Chains A and B, each alone.
Chain A
């Protein structure tokens, strides 16, 4: 027997959980992609030593589970005197995670831009920073935009894990309601649907943003 109506009295709990998940997603998406862009640029154009540092970071993150990274930051770092609130720890863990994955994706985009573009920009008198922001980044991002979108959605869904360190996100709400009224299926089912809605919405937002970012294509 299913009793979805038992969830109604907890709608506030679900809504505030939804709000936390959305806030964290927006923030970490922006910060994570920014971190990824910096790392990708260093890996593509930086010197040997800095390339090394970035690739160690990327490989370490990509080859360990997010939940272990989160536990390490939240429970492990205090031993070294770094105390972070659950919210801060999650934000840092999510940003570092997305940063590593997006660095790898964005670097593939940068690598796909032909060397000639770089040289042409130099001839036109653009400095390195101008070349990157005005010539390289937009077409590079366009190439990898779908992959980047998927990665951001994966990180958003992965954020369900932060409920384990008591961040009051959507999954936390589901668990809390489940521990109060013992309606596990209903509670998790509704929450899963909300996540599905969020991932569809996020894809939508990315597509809309992409249309504006890459408008130069349709302009000529």
Chain B
């Protein structure tokens, strides 16, 4: 009986400490306590994140994640996510940071907080040569593939003519596959992604039709984590000054950062 009560009280204490842990609001402290930072990265969005032959993610976002973890002096757990579910991952505290070529918009700012930008990115509409489109108004009655919930999705919804047929896919994988298999002849995506497709499949190389938005990438974190936000901003600033960000850009984009980036 005595042993049972001991066991029970032990369980209760453990349970209580667990709930205390999850109740605390300071994610930065949590990261230090568990000596581990969990970072969401894409695995279907080259050159930001895609898989190698060992199925491990690699790319700008993965390098950035490793940089942040090293600078914080903690271990890193890389969590592959899709663009549709990366914000729910943050909201539900499955990860501490989202470094997933995340663009900023008012809808998202209601749900999560952002760091300062860490990489340049332009969104546009791309497509095969035989489709004649030069500006957004000419999308009327055309079919465009896009990844659901992405900035380009929201831009199209806001600015494209009502008669455009937007086909939304769960993740970038599926959007790219839809374009490459010819299911759609136009896609809205980032300039770097389009360049990557062109490299892999010269036959279906998408050409740039027009730009949608200048949408640099930010690191996302749960709302109200001011300590974490300050720390991440400080690290980005450091990386910009030390040339680390430029190195990453040279490595994956084969080009230096644009002049005045992050200023």
Contact = CB atoms under 8 A, between A and B. Distances in A.
A29 B168 CA distance: 26
B181 A179 contact: no
Nearest to A81: B182
Interface in B64-90: 84, 87-88
B182 A176 contact: no
Size class of the contact patch on chain B: 20 to 34
Given A180-B107, A182-B111, A166 B181 contact: no
11 contacts: A83-B183, A86-B183, A164-B169, A164-B170, A166-B145, A172-B168, A175-B84, A179-B84, A180-B107, A181-B107, A184-B91
Contact of A166 (B87, B149, B178): B178
Given A75-B183, A175-B148, A179-B149, A166 B169 contact: yes
Interface in B169-208: 169-170, 174, 177-178, 181-183
Contacts, number: 46
Classify the interface of chain A: helix, strand, loop or mixed: helix
Interface of B: 84, 87-88, 91, 107, 111, 145, 148-149, 153, 167-170, 174, 177-178, 181-183
A164 B174 contact: yes
Interface in A92-114: none
Given A172-B168, A175-B148, A182 B88 contact: yes
A2 interface: no
| Contact residues on A (Cβ < 8 Å of other chain), bracket | 10 to 19
Contacts of B149: 179-180
A74 interface: yes
Given A164-B174, A184-B88, A176 B181 contact: no
Contacts of A86: 167, 183
Given A86-B167, A182-B111, A176 B183 contact: no
The prevalent SS among residues of B at the interface is mixed
Contacts of A79: 181
A75 B177 contact: yes
Contact of B181 (A75, A164, A181, A182): A75
Given A166-B145, A182-B88, A184-B91, 20 more contacts: A74-B183, A75-B178, A75-B181, A83-B183, A86-B167, A164-B169, A164-B174, A165-B169, A165-B174, A166-B167, A166-B168, A166-B169, A166-B178, A172-B168, A176-B168, A178-B88, A179-B148, A179-B153, A180-B107, A180-B149
A78 B183 contact: yes
Contacts of A181: 107
A178 B148 CA distance: 10
A78 B168 CA distance: 19
A163 to B, nearest CB: 8
A186 to B, nearest CB: 13
Given A79-B181, A83-B183, A182-B87, A175 B107 contact: no
A172 B153 CA distance: 14
Given A166-B167, A179-B149, A182-B111, A78 B182 contact: yes
